[in-house]
């Protein structure tokens, strides 16, 4: 299944609040990716980059630049559900 993102909000401490078309809302902790994926370290080293997150036209991927992106299915699966 393709999970489409309805709302995307960057939060403090490298977290994203994401709401999907099916109504599921999650908090995704990008800090874990920063700690394990070398390209994601840019989110800490480039001032303001994390807050400048974008949603692609298909609404199935969030990205910061050509090297740093996250597919919606990973966010859907690994994000912490907001009750």
Distance CA 45, CA 71 (A): 22
Tell me, what's the pLDDT at 83?
80
The pLDDT score that the predictor gives to residue 55 is 98
pLDDT at 10: 98
Q: Where are the beta strands (DSSP E) in the chain?
A: 5-11, 15-20, 25-29, 54-55, 61-63, 69-71, 80-81
Instruction: Map out the domains of the chain as residue ranges.
Output: 5-81
Structure tokens at 13: 């401490």
> What per-residue confidence (pLDDT) applies to 57?
97
Q: Which of the four CATH numbers 3.30.2020.10, 3.90.550.10, 3.40.50.720, 3.40.50.620 does domain 5-81 have? A: 3.30.2020.10
Read off the pTM: 0.94
Closest CA to 63 of 54, 74, 71, 72: 54
Kindly give the parts of the chain with pLDDT less than 70: none
From CA 3, how far away is CA 75, in angstroms rounded?
9
């Amino acid at each position: 299944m393709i999970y489409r993102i309805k709302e995307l909000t960057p939060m403090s401490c490298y977290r994203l609040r994401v709401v999907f078309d099916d109504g599921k809302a999650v908090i995704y902790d990008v800090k874990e990716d920063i700690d394990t994926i070398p390209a994601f370290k840019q989110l800490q080293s480039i001032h303001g980059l994390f807050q400048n997150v974008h949603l692609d036209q298909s609404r199935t991927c969030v990205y910061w630049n050509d090297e740093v992106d996250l597919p919606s299915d990973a966010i859907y699966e690994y994000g912490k559900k907001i009750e």
